Structure 1
Amino acid sequence: PMAGKALSCSVTVREVRDATQLEIEHGHPMQEDSDCGCSGH
């Protein structure tokens, strides 16, 4: 029922942090103790 409809979202950024060295090397945010799905790169 929502196909073709325009969506609007409103968000608030509550907190930011510096990227870890690992995130800089991989080019995306990493979560502790989780598989990032990046095929082990």
Structure 2
Amino acid sequence: VISKEATRNHNAIRNEIAVLKALDHPHILRIFDHFEHG
């Protein structure tokens, strides 16, 4: 059983990754890819 809190945290992390991948600024490192192991 997966708790609602764990699901919210997982969704928040996925949203953060999407935002970071979309950033385009010369002084911010870009994220090109990520992976999940599980």
TM-score (norm 2): 0.18
Larger RCO of the pair (alpha carbons < 8 Å, separation 6+): 2
Max Rg structure: 1
| Structure with the larger helix share | 2
